[in-house]
Amino acid sequence: MVRTQIHDEQVLAFVPHPLPPRDPPLEFGAELAGRLSEAETALARLDLAGEMVPAVDGFLYAFVRKEAVLTSQIEGTQATLIDLLEFEAESGGEVDPTDPNIEEICNYVDALAFARKQLAADRGLPLSMRLLNESHKLLMRGVRGADKMPGEVRRSQNWIGGSRPGNAAFVPPPPARLGAALSRLEKFIHRKDSLPPLVRVGLVHVQFETIHPYLDGNGRMGRLLIALLLEHWKLQNQPVLYLSLFFRRHRSEYYRRLAAVRTDGDWEGWLDYFLDGVATIATEAVHSARDLFALVARDRARLLDAVSTSVTVLRLFELLPSNPMVTVSLAMKLTSTSKPTAGRAVQTLAELGILVETTGKKRDRSWVYQKYLDLLRVGTDDPPRTG
């Protein structure tokens, strides 16, 4: 703890010891080892499920958006998966969102895509604070983030919970200590270490949240970092683990476990929670992937049997997993056909009950792949539980 001044108050700020936990070291008993192996197995299964899928793009598209919605909901963003898809279908990727709720979710999708591209490129940024800062800039784009120093590590003291620093749940390190704490975290990420990579991912997340480097967006950046590390350390090939569903489902426990690392050095309790989350969500995602593919296979078979099926209809159908909501103009663009042809293709899919019209209007109508969406959105519309 170090003394720090916030406005006219003197409070104690917390400066974490560098990773890994020492003194005492991690107590990796049989129970945690069991949790770890369950989590690793479930993750490996999810990876396999992803690889066996014919429409890999659709799978990635869907699960990345699910995570984007969930991670933003933890912060309190009021928008659903349907809202996001609606926006994407109608904008065709050509206009920026005007609704700040949708904007936040789109920003997360962009920040993740940016970071993955950098990491994959020969001359891209390595996993570093520079990379995270650039991603943070994208995450904080727009109205809500403008005054939160997008892309920059904070230069002022902040606090978590409470109305003022004096009654805060937690006061993160003073700005003068951030540089050193963050460069140690980078070093830990790049150092060879005997701890299992999945455990290291869990440690890094807590450390990142405890350092709280930004004025806002620390939770979302810390969760994005989990996705990047899982891929970087080859625990998954694509960012399809929507772990935020677990954090959201057990939100107060999420905060409590983070806090207990700091107050009681309870790394083991956090890891138990974190590894349980990875195992639970990976298993749910495998089931969800299986259900999604079974549905697509069933509908494809029905489509091939139907007399009215044309090449355009089939092409449009195959694109639905990456575009579960369409308008006629989007269908036109996706299949590169004329408006009447695209319109007929949409109509055919609607007659077969694959697409369902959502607006009830005569013009500007949109259709969703309803059953697909119903499967995909499981968990994203539930009110967050406390506990």
For ligand ATP, the binding residues (CB under 6 A) are 74-75, 160, 169-170, 209-210, 216-220, 222, 255, 258-259, 262
- State the residue number with the nearest CB to ligand ATP: 219
Q: For residues 245 and 258, which CB has a smaller minimum distance to ligand ATP in the complex?
A: 258
Cα angle vertex 224, ends 188, 72, to 5°?
Answer: 145
| 113 Cβ contact partners less than 8 Å away, ≥ 6 residues apart | none
Q: What is the CA radius of gyration of the chain?
A: 23
- State the residue number with the nearest CB to Mg ion: 216
CB of 374 to ligand ATP, least distance (A): 26
Report d(CA 215, CA 297) in Å as an integer: 47
Q: For residues 67 and 216, which CB has a smaller minimum distance to Mg ion in the complex?
A: 216
- If contact means CB under 5 to 8 A according to the sort of partner, which of Mg ion, ligand ATP, none does residue 306 touch? none
What one-character-per-residue DSSP string does 184-239 give?
HHHHHHHS--SS-HHHHHHHHHHHHHHH--SSS-HHHHHHHHHHHHHHHTTS-SSS
The count of other CB atoms within 10 Å of the CB of residue 295 is 17
CB of 217 to ligand ATP, least distance (A): 5
- If contact means CB under 5 to 8 A according to the sort of partner, which of ligand ATP, Mg ion, none does residue 209 touch? ligand ATP
Q: For residues 69 and 198, which CB has a smaller minimum distance to ligand ATP in the complex?
A: 69
Which tokens hold the place of 319?
A: 């694109």
Strands (E), the chain: 2-6, 9-13, 325-326, 355-357, 367-369
CB of 169 to ligand ATP, least distance (A): 5
- If contact means CB under 5 to 8 A according to the sort of partner, which of Mg ion, ligand ATP, none does residue 116 touch? none
Phi and psi at 163, nearest 5°, equal: -90, -20
CB of 77 to ligand ATP, least distance (A): 8
Q: For residues 252 and 338, which CB has a smaller minimum distance to ligand ATP in the complex?
A: 252
Q: For residues 215 and 355, which CB has a smaller minimum distance to Mg ion in the complex?
A: 215
Residues at the site binding Mg ion, with contacts judged by CB under 5 A = 216
